[in-house]
Structures are given as structure tokens and as C-alpha cells.
Structure 1
């Protein structure tokens, strides 16, 4: 008996599925011309299906009518594309894969920092061309370690095409290391791609024949074919059902199937079904005499009440349908047992000879016929769909028809259900009236078909979508990423920042290079800030963020900003008996010894300076090894109030001794 093994992670990936859903929805809603700039994905079957929905393929936004709708394909586009679209007033439906969009942000940032971007991938692939467009088309594109060794530039930032093989990316990195290049990198290969390639390899190892399904123009599908061919020489590329090698299939008992990220599920199922049909044996054909006896028995037996029957329409009037059920009685479906819309008539829906299915209400309606109902059949089917949705936790759409005490009544086709007020939204709902008339996606939370009751929840669906978005954010984040966030709330130990749907903790010690007593000293609720991801713990759902890392640590660049003899401005932050500490910038303090406060002798420094006072001072010394700066205020003042002759200064603490004995204390005191 033949065994067909389908590799895990076959078919549409998340980005492709989202792109197609967005495109189909846009096509349904669009009232004018709608285009896709380049094929939405690399698959002819999908492209032809979208074309039937009215989506035309163009190669440039310049080809689209001004003001029309253009879908940005999942591979993404360069910055220039969006600039042209804005000038031509095009309505964009951005179906760029979120993982590709992240690469756009990475290379744009790297370019702004002056780094040379290197993209590991195929220079002719639209995804790579789009990425290059976000760093001014200045990227170096390599596809092998040999290409990498030809790079003469330094200070590189390396990213990868999402569908490139991990082995190729690793080889390029080793080549850069061997040539002594300085580089930083972000591994942007999509996890779904590596998982798909791994499962294809594992499947190919254990089968006699391997089928790789997808379009010949699809980069990731061609890579799957190369991987499969390495481990199973009897590998075939199947673009459509006509390419299925049935003769080869008949010879093998274990057959593997893998599919690219742009391969539709319908092709996968069609291929598997065709192979299954060709392996069926003909042992199950009924004896002709047995079949005849079954037909005779069927004609004598009357269907039972509640049974679902199928027959042919014998006659249609405006009041009823007469159905030939193949038994000694005909079935009758009255007008009130069929669902009609608007001004429809029975004769509009059914004609003599049509096949029709209905549910038996009575085996004798009083006139010697079998009473049938289409409505009760439909309701039964709808209950089956609701029960199935409860079992597999899938989403159905219901229409809210009226408010009731504690919630609303919503209908799924012919079935009415209840949505509690607490399950109408993920926010507090005071008045359910606002939902009347709306069609809501819901999860089924409870079913009691015997009592005709179903309970729906829109909130569960919203939470599912929120969790899905959060999962996408987690998958798209990496340590050292710099992202934009919004300050949401404060605590004594830091601030919580929303980074696109999830909160990260910005600890008070990571806000500024200087000392803070509370985050509100530098931040406000609602501030948009750029933060760096310092650490991630997906199991605990915790992310640590940093703000000060976006600026260099002051002591690391002190020679670029300060020099001995320079007059600087600062704020007095601490006063000690031997001097005052002046903050030049967050994280950088200098000491004004008591002897450097004024030209006169100062007995109590508090008489001359106050905490918070802005002062000018001259830099006397910068000790970078010990991280100490000596300042003088008196050097910026005119000479006056000199000590009188004979006045002693023996009790003053020497400058060096004050710095040695008290600087550490000053550094740690709040």
C-alpha cells in the first residue's frame, strides 16, 4: 500500500497568506481600477485567480491610473516606489511581508549611521531590489563566499534575503571574517523558510520519490528542489497537475510532498488526491445483482422522520415543490419550508430535473406524501458548522440583531445566539446599541443544540488577534534592535514603553547616563522615543529596554567635546565641605575645589553656591583613567576679594586629596 508523506511547513507562509487576503479584500471593496505592481507572489495559479477578481499586473507605479488602487506585493518595494505613488495619488494596499518590512528599517538605519550595507541574496530577486531601495540603492549584493571576498569596503552591516539558505549566509559571514572585515549583522532569514527547508530535507531522506510543488519562478521553491534532489535523486518539480509523473508514482510505495511558501493549498490537495485515486484498487465494485437488489429495497423503504434525503424535482409551482425520492411516495416541500430572499419565487430557484436535498418532517402529510423542509435541513447544517467551530476554535461571522438584558442576540445564518455584554469587545461596553447591525467575527464559547442555545464571543476573537500580533512582534524582535515606542506609565524604578503592542521595561538606570531620582525628570506619558532592546525572555514575556544606549557614554567621547582650559557651563548638583560637584551633562560631573570657587578665601562653600545653580567654570584637568575632571569657577571671574595678607589656608583640604577621598562617595550618593 502506498504511503504519501507531506513535509511539515508546506504551502503558504504567514506573509504570503496575509498578502493574498489583503489583495482579495481590496478587490472586493475597490470601485475603480486595481493593480498589483509585479506578481503579488511567484505563483501563476494565484496570479490568474487574482486576475479574475480584476487585479491587473503592472511593472511600475507609473503604469497605474492616477488615483487608482495599487497593491504592494509581499516582496516589498523600495522607497522610490512610495514617493512616486504619493505624487500620483495612488491608494496603496501594503501587503509587504512584515519580516521584509523589518529589513527595510534595518538597512535604512544602517545607511543613516554611515555603514556599508551588504545583502546576502539574489540581486535579481524583487525582495532584494526592494531592500536595496531603502538604503539608496547603495548596498553590496553577494550570493556566495567568493563574492564576499571581493568586497573592499569596511564597517559593514550584513542582512539576508528572507528565503536564502542558512548555509549560504554562514559561508558569506566566514568569508568576511577571513578577509578581516569589520561588520555587524542581523540574521533576517525567515524562521518559516529554515523550518520549511529542514522538513523538506528530512522528508526527502526517507522516501523513494519526492515531489516539490510550486512555481518555477519561485526562489524558495527552487531551493527546496535543490535540497530535495541532494537527498532523494528521484525528485520532480510539479508546477501544476499536468506535471505529476504518474508512471513514476505507480512504481514507488513511499512518496514525499513538499511545497514552497507561494504554493496554494488547492494544488497540494489536488496532487495528493490524484495520487490517491490512482492507487485505489478496484476490489470495492459492487456486484451488479447486489446493486439491483439494493435499488429494489430502497424503493420499498420509506424515509424516517428527521432523515436527510436527496431527490429530483418533479414539479415546481409557486406554492410547493414535488420531489421524486425514488420510493413509493413523493416528497412535498411547501413554500414556507424554503428560504427565499426579497421577491424570489420558487420557480426562480428550481426547475424540473434539478437535484434537491431536504429533511423529512413527516412520512405522511395527510395527502399521502412525505413532508420535507429545506429550512430545517439548513438549520441543522448551520448547527453542525457552529459545533465544528466550537470544536476547532475557528472563527464564524454573526450579525447583531437586537440588544437584550445582559448582552445582544446575534444570528449565524438561521441560528440565533447570545453574546454577553462582557464578550462584545475587549474594552468596557456601556451600551450594546452601538453594535446592532454590525457583523462581528466571533468564537463559539458554548453550544446546547437540544435547547437551541449558542453563546458567542467577539472578545475571544479580538484577544486571539492581539496575541497573534504580539507573537509576530516577538518573532520579529532581536536583542540590539532599535525600535520606536510610546511611554505608557511610570514606576519608581522605571517606565513601561509600548513597542507596537507589547510593553517593555525601561529601567531608571537605562534612561540616562546621569543619575535620576524618577523617570519623570526626563520623560512624559505619551512621549515617542527610540529604545534599544537589551534582553528578551519569551517564557516570562519580559523585554528590557535602554534609552541611554542611543547616545555614546560621555567618558568615551570626552576628548571630542572637552579640553583643558575650556570654559563650560554646568549645574551644581552636590555641595561638600571641600567643594562642589558640577554636572556638565548627564553622566559627566566635575569637581570645583573650595579653593577654586572665588579669588577670596571661602570658609563655607554654601555661602557662595547653591544646588541647582547654573555656573561657568574652567577645566583645569581631565583624568580619563580615573574619570575625574577638575574645574575652577574663580578662573572665569575678575580678580577681587583676594585673601588678606597673613590669612592662613592651612586647614583647607588639598584638591588632590579631596578628589581621592570623596569622589567615590559623591558618585554613589543619591
Structure 2
């Protein structure tokens, strides 16, 4: 004699989630000022709902029955849009436990309705899930549960969804009729995969069983469908809601007994049914003789093993049976499926779960939360990987390797950065190779870091982005030194000034451009010829690798003016220049940087000049004539007066001579003075 429990028996994910939320609210807020309600039975299982009511969960038919400000739990079946609008009007606090699968269907129906399409729901029009979905179409959705009802559906542009718990046969029948009669039929297969698996395993088990027991609530749609499927394959099928419904006499006569349970059936009820049947079998004397010594005990152990849930921290392997946008459902081979939420899986960039995982794939994860009661099994892929990630961090420390860590938040004295599942601290002083006052600009960025310290026992690691930057800078500098040679001309950027020159970045390495090497002319400060940020071509004059110093030149990119003077200047040529210096004996005029000429005081004007500053000033542009070029002594003599009109000076001289003659006529002494003046 054997007792076998069908796979996927007991709570589905949606029901388990709803019950968890209800129990949490009752545990934390039960007996408080606000009353706690659920609109309709939370799940279709009388034993469970009776227990919840005893703990303070009251059942109402609609939000208008709840006191203003009270708490209302939305059950797994979901509610229509008008429910939420009414709840908001009454200031109700909503705890939404709608099954994620149902929420997706509601969204699909709503979007199709907004596009002007006729929504068709394949399912039971009286079922709360179908009522809720229809409510997101303004109750305009058509409902069909058979081919006959599908024949009556009007409209040309159809969007078809399914109640999560209907049979595949019903869905296919309706779809085939619609596609035969309509040209535009958009179909979304929304039967819950857990429901499909539950129905399939029940039907398969019924085929090889002498007796089938289907455990579920009398109002449970999915439990009724399990009964119908089982009845087709095993005539001796019984529907059990409570233990008194169990046909113990018939059970005791059978060799192969199968058990299936609806999505709202608690695991403890399944165990109680098995225990009752086992007791009935052992009490039957005829069968007792057939059971070998220890056989029943082994049977119970096997059943217990199949019902055992993995413990917290245990590493489990299972098969992926569903991949949604927000989580993965995993068959663990026990009576509960495991759930891996998206936050417990490692994704990169814009990756989605469907990009990495497919139904049928095997996956290993770590149990984060489990219970012997009715809660779901929460799994984590990240926590399984965390030990591997710590190994990688330790290896990076030992081998002085670089890892990429994402900065997630600022804390006192620095930031927290995450490498895979390992969180590390980056002190503010190690965030950059320059001073950082606030870490705002780094939040959300992925930084290459060196591992400075690891304390795995305390789950602590210290990272340094500065160490990485300095290492990269040294590599770059070494590469630059290897590729530079004296005499090379390279592009650089003027970074900063000093009184004695400018520092120029030549690709990650600063070189000094001395003020004397900027121009062939004389400069008082480098900013007379350069600007910060300016791009210039400089020549490498010298390199000292030991001291890390490079001397640069800019003027070397232009010929030295005296070397080409014959090509540009000749005696007698009139040039434009700028007065750069004034002396008692004359003024120096710059023809171009590095090339000055002297205007002797006697060549400033045709008149007598006693103070040259009265005639010209520093910075003034003047025309001058080249009188002489002395290449050996590198001297140029210039004349300003030679470029002037001297007629006015001749008229002035004539009038002076007339006055002098008159004076001479009056006095011989004056005449002598005039001659002396003329000689001078």
C-alpha cells in the first residue's frame, strides 16, 4: 500500500502571499484603533478563514461597509478599479495582496480597453477574479466559459485573457471558436503555470491510483477543477474539505492512494488527512498483515520527507517553472514552490529576468525564509553567491587586483560601494586623487577600486578608488616617459602659471615651460603670452627621469629673429614697432619678439629733444626707419624723425632765424649768441 501526494499540492504563491500579509497585519496591528477587514473571503478555505476571523479579521462585501480610516486587505483574487476609487473616498488604508499574476491580467485588460478593443475573459463570470478583471474594463468585458458562450461574443477586435485557475481545455475551446469567427484576435495565455502544473500532476496521479482524495474548500474554483480532472481518470475520487468528509473505510481497502490539494489548502490539512488515512489502514487487520514490519513507519517517513520544507540557510536545487517580470518560481520537489524575487537575483544594466532564466532551467539558491506552516519559501540567488564574492574580494586583496564597485549611498566619512553582494566602505579621502568635499557626484557610479582591507567575519571591506587612480597614473607616466625623447615636439595644455614660467600637461605628465623659453622676446609674466587651458605645441628640451622633471620650450618652434633678419629687414625700410623701453639717451622699439631697435634721442624729432618721455611713451606704436643693421653686435639703429614731414620744422626754423637777425641788428652780443646757438 502506498500514499502519494501530487506535486504542487497546497498553497500557491498568490494565496501564500495574501495569507502572509494578513497574518502580518493581524500580528502587528490587531486589536488597535483601526479595524481590519477583507472584502470577501481572503482564501477559499473555511478552516483558515475561521481562524483569521477569530484573530480579528472581519469579512465585508464592499468598501462602503468598512468604517472610514480602517484597514482593508485586498485578497489574492483582486478587486475592480471602482473598489480602489471607493476606498480612497472613504480614506481606507489598503493592503493590496492581489496575486501578481492577476494584477498582470488586470493591466492587460485595462490597456486593451483603452485602445478600443473588446476584452474577452475566459472563465467563470461569477468568480471574484473574473469580476475584478472585468472591473478594469468598465465592466465592458465579455466572459466565456465554453464554446457556446464564445459563439455569442460580438465585436471585431478582441483581446482574450484567461482566469488564472481555468483548465487548458476550456481556454483552447474558447480560443478556437473566436479565431474561427473573428479576424483580429489577440490572445494572452494567462492561466497560472502553477495551476497548469497542479492540474497536470493531479490528472497523472489519478491515472495510477485506486482512490483519489482532492482536498480543498467547497467554494474553491481550482479545487473543483482538480476534482473534475481526477474523476475523469479515477472514478473512485472524493472531495474533502474537512476530515469528516474522508471515506476512511474505502481508503483502508485500497493499495494505491493519491492525494491532490487546491491552491487554498493549508499544508497542515494535507498532513492531517494523510495521518487519518494511515491510522485507518493500520487498524485494518487484513491490511496490517500485508504490511511488512516497519513498512508503515517507512511509508510515513517517506510522506513526511515529501512534505518537509527546507530549512533557513539550506542550499537547494530546483527547476524553474515560471519566470515573471518580478520573480522566479522554482519547483523544489516538496509541497511548496520556492520564490526568488528580482531583488534576490543579480542583474546588470537593462537586463530582465527573462533574458537570463527560462522555465525548465535548473537553478540553485539559498533558503532565506521558510516555515512549517503556510508561509512561502523565500529563496535568494544573491546570498548563495555572496560567499563566492567574498572569495573574489580576498583574492583581489592578495593579488592587488582591481574590482568594480557601485557607489550606493553616502555615509559619515565616506560612501558605501557594492561589489556584487559584498558591501565595502570607501573613505572620502580615497574617493579621488583630489580633494572631495561632497560625494554626490559619485552616487550611482561604478568605480574601479583596490581592496585595502577585508574583515569577512564582520562582513566589512575597505576599498580605495584613489589607489587605483594613482596606480593608473603611474602606469601612464611610465608609458609617457618611455615614448618621449629630447627634441620631440608634442601637444600640451597650459595648466597653471608661476612667476618663473608655466606648467604644461603633455598627456598626463607636467613639464615646466620656463618664462625664458616661451618667447624670443622678453616677458615679465607667462600670462602675457599664454592662457590657462590653451593648447600649444612644445619642444622637449631636457628630461630627468630620476627627478621626474621635463623642461619644455615654446619659442624653439619659431626661428630665432636674428637668424633670418636679412629675409625680413633692410636699411632704409620703414617699419611699425612698439616702444618697450625709454632711456635718457633714446628709446627701444620692438620690431617683433626678440628683435629690438634703438631710436637715439637725436632721431626722435627734428627739433631739440631734452626729455624723450615728452615725445613718446612705453607701449606706443610708432613708425621708424632702419638706419643701420649691425649683425655682429646684433644692434639695429632706428629713426622716427626720418618718417616725419620736416617742412613744418623748416618754417619754424626760418621764423626763428628772422627773429635772431633782428636781435643781431640790435646788438653785436646777441648776434654772437645766435651763431653759437646755430653751431650747437
TM class by shorter chain equals: 0.3 to 0.5
Find the structure with the greater CA-based Rg.
2
Bigger relative CO (Cα 8 Å, ≥ 6 apart): 2
> TM-score, normalized by length of structure 1?
0.44
